[in-house]
Structure 1
């Protein structure tokens, strides 16, 4: 079986299973799981890619979460106004996470960016989540909890799909 065919089968089957799982749980973000899935393959599709994906995505989530907390809790908006205050905070946070790429654990800037972007997607597209109350809750309303859990699940499913695809490729052809 070709590499592409085995990958199509494994990602399709596990993608369906991941969708079923996240929808069954009800609080997880399938789109964040799929972003991490893509990140896993973008990062090499092996065990090291799994580590890179999880660590870097979670660092991106943490950076975005801190950014959001600063935006909603520090009174900069009163002084500088909207949209200047959040723009400046985002600007500084991006400079920080790119500078952190000097550390090997955070050296995958795209993987960190996926986590950062997924966090802001959740915060900006889900009513009520970009608030001090949600950002500090100990629940799945908090981006710091729901986004990394969703992304870790996606990365693990991605790893499973890569392993499954490899097994499909090694299967000997059936004699006719």
Structure 2
């Protein structure tokens, strides 16, 4: 029979662990591994790791989100997944939820406006079809990065996610890179469809984090 101290020592040495008496070992893994002794006779269960909880929560909500976007159409699932990633990249908490929506939508606004200016202002006739778009894009980069001095727009990566998603949408979707489509009040407009997609993605991301918290909390609760 192994005692608590000897079992811990042997575990840290990478050898087989001996469970004796009423004692067992649970693993709580996030950034590192913690060893928590649990008295099974008291009815407590093994703790669920944060990663396992996230895997369960995200897989369920990800399936629901995929079904929703495929059913509705027009809105873009990859825009939602970008916002989902942005949420966790930004910290995965309440503040991250707010900054994700604000910065993503700001990025969509900047990119859509950039595309609209490229298409409607005849700078290409003077500067050429490659220099003009590059110049307008460069100015827009400066503007959205300098806007990070404003707290609401402080997440430059979040703004870039929205910016990139917008140009992916208008350049890869037929008939969307036109002033008529961009300026319309419909789901043909990048202002609307990409913003809506990313807001929905942020909501699903926030729900997945809360779902993971619930799973971890329920696993820790005494039976």
TM category (shorter chain) comes to over 0.9
The structure with more helix, counted as a fraction of residues: 1
- Aligned partner (choices 73, 80, 91) of residue 138 of structure 2: 91
Q: Which residue of 1 aligns with 2:174?
A: 127
Q: Which of structures 1 and 2 has the bigger CA Rg?
A: 2
Q: Which residue of 2 aligns with 1:61?
A: 108
Query: Over the residues paired in the alignment, what is the CA RMSD in angstroms?
Result: 1.4
Q: Which residue of 2 aligns with 1:151?
A: 198
C-alpha distance in 1 between matches for 2:107 and 2:113: 10
Q: CA deviation at 1:60?
A: 0.4
- Aligned partner (choices 100, 125, 148) of residue 78 of structure 1: 125
Give the structure-2-normalised TM-score: 0.77
Q: Tell me whether 1:113 sits opposite 2:160 in the alignment.
A: yes
Unaligned stretches of 5+ residues in structure 2: 1-47
String of CA shifts for 1:25-61, please: whole Å, max 9, x gaps.
1111000000000000011101111100000000000
C-alpha distance in 1 between matches for 2:95 and 2:219: 28
C-alpha distance in 2 between matches for 1:88 and 1:12: 42
Q: How does 1:37-48 map to 2 (within 5 A)?
A: 37-48=84-95
**Equivalent residue pairs, number:** 176
The structure with more strand, counted as a fraction of residues: 2
Give the structure-1-normalised TM-score: 0.97
